[in-house]
Structure 1
Amino acid sequence: MSQVPGEVWEQFAIAVAEMARDLLTQDSTQGTLDRIVEHATVLINGCDEAGILTVRQGEVHALAATSDLVRHADRIQQDLREGPCFDAVTDRQQIYAIEDMREPNDNWPHFTPRLRKLGMGSMMGFLLFTEDDDLGALNVYSRDPNAFDETARRAGWILASHAAVAFSAARTHQQLGHALETRHEIGEAMGILMERYGLTEDAAFKVLKKTSQDRNVKLREIARQVCRTGEKPS
């Protein structure tokens, strides 16, 4: 960073702080992810497009993208099972890069020419992770070869670090919300069974649980059915 004027990094720090506050205002995990990729195009010099993907059991899932071009690139990684962001997630490498897609690439010999045909010149991948979990990878693309210098790499790493924390917090908040909603629905269903069928609290819960197991349906869905119909599940 010493090669870059201090005021530039000061401005970058202010922009990252503003991004962090913006991410905290999002009311959903998807909203947080969408804002992360939008900020990437602003905060990382040379970045024309950005996206976030994750790899679960060998399957690539696109979580956010600034354009259909990025979604196409994600599908190519899935089809070929190769690419810097695919590797970032599966091998836990924090940063991957393709500096010039016009040149042969030994690491990703099939992926690189496919991206070049899409009009991409260079790209970077940053692992999104926290101490407890690997969340995915942030991909940034440029139409120009050799678009990302060391400053852009460091900026991308800083952004990815903040983004991972915001992503994890948003997901945890969403999961907690779902858990509270599920608890409320189960409690309401139990109340209906207790009132209409004279069941004890323990017996009402056992009815819901056994029905869930017998039908191989989530307990929450059984509770919703009881709340909707007011009937004891058969």
Structure 2
Amino acid sequence: MPMVDVTALGRLVAEYDALSELRSPEAQQRLRDVCYTIAVYTGETDAARAVAVARALLAPGRRGPVDGAAVATGPVADRDHGALLAELGELAERERERHRTLSTLPDVLQLTRVAVPGSVGAAVSTWHDDGTVETLAAGSPQLLALERAQGEAGAGPLARIRRQGQGQLLVRLDPGRPGRFADRARRCGVRAVATEHLRTLPHGCTAFSVYLRTPVEPGTPASALVSVLALQASVALDRAALARTVADLLDRRHAIGPAIGVTMERFGVPPHTALILLARAAQRLGTDLDTVVHRLAADGR
């Protein structure tokens, strides 16, 4: 087990003792959080064992390591360590602010329905090279079916925006326009689709589509609003991808768990945010995640 901050560990054990006497749901939830953090500090997976190891580490007059652990008690003089903590603190505040302001993909779809004049709703889908359509989010089951219908028909705004490769595409579904997708869309009250290209993938492309009761004209405020909402959808997709990456990394947290625990305790952030901060600090300091993790472990803070 790497070095730990005995002051922080002592606070956690004291809080554990106080919460153990309480039975409210809030206290029990906090107790679980404290147990998790102590487990991260000590490298133990069992909560009772983690608390026992923590008490051993904090025992007065203890000499030598416990279960291979070493305790940091002296001041840290390394300027790199101070810079790392400063970066983590700044990033923690920025991350909290981002979570207060950024929308999720369902939020963007809901906003589209109420903000764009004549909108039935919106959806985000990927058109793959084999012609299949993978819908990442849809404002309603009806729109989900319309997105998939484009793959079944082999035609529609998604196929056209893929060929176009960028920008916005405005498609009118006039009564005289033939095609299975157009017929099905008109039966749902859709008379036009505004589709914005989001990104090109190795085997397809992803697009943001707004289904409309009345067409919008190019260059109008409604058309510009679709572009703004498409940008928000792209940001939400990036956030979701980052969250999946973090979840994958957390599955391997035994390698970096102590560093996550230190960051959680120091800056009051949840585990996934702690990992994000460590990764971004590594990027801003011009190093890699392993170096940041090992530096925190060696410094004991």
User: Is the shorter-chain TM-score for this pair beyond 0.5, marking a shared fold?
Assistant: yes
Structure 2: distance between partners of 1:81 and 1:132: 20
C-alpha change, 1:117 and 1:130, in structure 2 (3 Å) is closer
Cα offset, 1:134, TM superposition: 7.7
Residue 96 of structure 1 contacts residue 126 of structure 1 at CA under 8 Å; is this kept in 2?
Answer: yes
Q: Which runs of 4+ in 1 moved over 6 A?
A: 130-135, 185-188
Deviations 1:27-69 (A, max 9, x none): xxxxx22122111112322212111111233320111111111
Higher relative contact order, chain-length normalized (CA < 8 Å, sep 6+): 2
Alignment RMSD (CA, Å): 3.3
Query: Alpha carbons of 1:115 and 1:88: their partners in 2 closer, same or farther (altered >3 Å)?
Result: same
Q: Is the 8 A contact 2:170 2:216 kept in 1?
A: no
User: Which residue of structure 2 aligns with residue 57 of structure 1?
Assistant: 129
Q: Which runs of 5+ in 2 are unaligned?
A: 1-97, 258-301
- Say whether the 8 Å CA contact 1:101–1:113 is kept in structure 2: no
Other structure's SS at 2:184 match = helix
Q: Which has the larger radius of gyration?
A: 2
TM-score w.r.t. length of structure 1? 0.57
Distance (Å, rounded) in 1 between the aligned partners of 2:110 and 2:202: 26
Given the alignment of the two structures, is residue 34 of structure 1 paired with residue 106 of structure 2, yes or no?
A: yes
Corresponding residue for residue 159 of structure 2: 86
Q: Residue 46 of structure 1 corresponds to which residue in structure 2?
A: 118
Tell me the equivalent position of 2:170: 97
Q: Is the 8 A contact 2:162 2:204 kept in 1?
A: yes
Structure 1 pair 85–60 and aligned structure 2 pair: CA distance change class (3 A): same
- Judging changes above 3 Å, is the alpha-carbon distance between structure 1 residues 80 and 130 closer, same or farther for their aligned structure 2 residues? closer
Question: SS at the partner of 1:127?
Answer: strand
Show CA shifts across 1:153-179 (max 9, x none). 111112112321231133123212222
Q: Which consecutive residues of structure 1, in runs of 5 or more, have no partner in the other structure?
A: 1-17, 24-31, 189-234
How far does residue 125 in structure 1 lie from its aligned partner after superposition? 0.7
Alignment of structure 1 residues 136-147 onto 2, 5 Å: 136-144=206-214, 146-147=215-216
CA distance in 2, matches of 1:152, 1:134: 27
